[in-house]
Structure 1
């Protein structure tokens, strides 16, 4: 027999102020402790100012039947931003807000409204450019929104942005990359043995590829209107437009900067090679490839910074999937073919990360820097 679930106060959906703020919508089964862990994973000082409370109410009658009632709490993620909730919501009210019908709880987000320039051309995996087409969030609001989207992706929820009410439903599997953080170094042949135990066709990638400069038909030299025709733009979608708007317009200045960059690269390449990182590749054919990149990392997920072995930084074993069309990685709604390839690559990414963590120890983090139990992979 399952325990009765507490009834949280309903979201005041008819309050016009609620519709001007960002809302985090979550499905059934997500506890307040899960949200707290995700908050601390991004904002180390996050804490409940007021814990959601559960009270037992007794009804009249001889048998003294009981029901559970719960009050909302206030989760402070930073000095200026809080989440109040959880509020309960019916399917009808969720749909009226544009949210998924499976939404059962909502958190009301209070944070500063800080906007900057219109969005740059290019990908929009999180949908923020679509939601804020006139001016992108910056500073505190940007940090909070990026975390809200990451939390919604991890928990299978959605984010309703204030003002226009644009709803973001991040794909659970949009980013399948994983990173193993540890203090143990594996030599290239040791790493290859671990990866080949999982995917036998893995190989080391120790040699660089000479770079001969940008393609002749990329950037400002790219033909206009390629995106409208469905033709990939050399160098990346929107590169030509971005360079025309934000790049260095003077041709002599560009040549001078390029010469300085070449001189710097030449000086670095003339020094003796010290192995500080390396990689391995797994060719997946039409499904792209998996790259395992090894190197030092100083910017660690907040939950790792207090651990003794990570006090001075750590080693990162990054397991990344790269599709045949890398631009689709940054699309909010990639093609069916991309999703099929991603689904076939995902088990390999999980198996490699799990095998590496089993050898070097440490912790596994996803692309949102949220820690993952190896047993869940």
Structure 2
């Protein structure tokens, strides 16, 4: 299995080249609307009715067949089977194989098909990044909210800009969420289906924006045990103070229940550890390790056990709540990378120590080896 770090290294060169291309195009064409689209990862297009003023790329048979569908873009390092395996993580009831027609039913209303390879002419016609060598097709309904997203709303992946007249809803929202999470994990992208009056929309999710980790285990670990694991990588970690019951509350509890013993030790049903991150950067905030019985168990976990699960959630809280905002600066990205390394190290300790199962923030399985890579 390809590790997240290996995928990151493979993608960095292509992403740098894409940014340089976009910067060059921005200076050559001062059109404000086109520049804004490029900043959000949605390149402008000269196709009639789509807002550009250059000649439209010549369509190919493949691009003509594909442009009416949402597409998951793959590069040479990713196979269709990788996508099917990730979808199986999210939808474990589905068998991760295509049928004889190269399709897989995702729900009652949506299906995936293996799509088609893209040669340079196809990629140019579809106006997708040059690294895109294959497109997987998602055929789903077009469900939209009846009104535009409010001005204050900003989706981390730029969907508010991609759908200015109404955000995806119901089945389409679920399918796009699945597609974007797959693209984020694989460090690839999504091309949205063409729509009249809108530019070509290609979304490249920021794969480093999703840092949190979730570990599910049938074992409850007491605070000192978890604290010992965390302090192997963050000696400054500490347990947050537990709330102390008010004397009046204890007195009333004694009246309500004659067997209640106010001096008995508190039995925890959850706790939190805190890791200040000031040594990384003053804006890095903190990591919080939240431990509690899981109220909801992801389907991939529930498919393999009926036992109650303890959730160990390693959650990053940056000081300025900017982690999900698009177009982060270089300093923030460097800081975020160091936080991610610490998160992975702590998550690996908890994963091994609890004999649990790990999921990343997109809901995909991770192993301790991947976290340590």
Same fold at TM > 0.5: yes
Between 1:158-167 and 1:119-128, the stretch displaced more is 119-128
Q: Provide the rounded CA distance (Å) in 1 between the counterparts of 2:339 and 2:167.
A: 33
TM-score, normalising length from structure 2? Answer: 0.71
Answering whether residue 208 of structure 2 is matched by residue 173 of structure 1, we say yes
Report the equivalent of 2:37: none
* Matching residue of 2:106: 77
Partner residue, 1:293? 290
- 1:124: how far off? 1.2
Distance between the aligned counterparts of 2:141 and 2:156, measured in 1? 23
Secondary structure of 1:134's counterpart equals coil
1:103 aligns with 2:100: no
CA distance in 2, matches of 1:318, 1:192: 14
Q: Which runs of 5+ in 2 are unaligned?
A: 1-59, 254-261
1:18 equivalenced with 2:66 (yes/no): yes
Q: Structure 1 residue 283 and structure 2 residue 276: aligned?
A: yes
Q: Partner of 1:314 in structure 2? A: 309
Which residue of structure 2 aligns with residue 237 of structure 1? none
User: Among 136, 140, 149, which residue is 1:119 paired with?
Assistant: 149
1:40 is paired with a residue of what secondary structure? helix
Alpha-carbon contact 1:46-1:78 (below 8 Å) kept: no
Aligned to 2:192: 161
> Does the aligned pair in 1 maintain the 2:271–2:290 contact within 8 Å?
yes
- Count residues with an aligned counterpart: 287
Deviations 1:118-160 (A, max 9, x none): 2243331122111111111111110000000000001111111
Q: Structure 1 CA distance, aligned partners of 2:66 and 2:97?
A: 21
Deviation of 1:313 after TM superposition, in Å, equals 3.7
Q: Is the 8 A contact 2:189 2:203 kept in 1?
A: yes
Partner SS, residue 198 of structure 1: coil
TM-score under structure 1 normalisation? Answer: 0.70
Runs (5+) with no aligned partner, structure 1: 1-10, 53-71, 210-265
1:41 pairs, out of 79, 89, 99, with: 89
Q: What pairs up with 1:172-321 in 2 under 5 angstroms?
A: 172-207=207-242, 275-285=268-278, 286=282, 287-308=284-305, 311-321=306-316
Residues 60-107 of structure 1, C-alpha deviation per residue, up to 9 Å, x if partnerless?
xxxxxxxxxxxx711221111112114110234224323221111101
Give RMSD over aligned pairs: 2.5
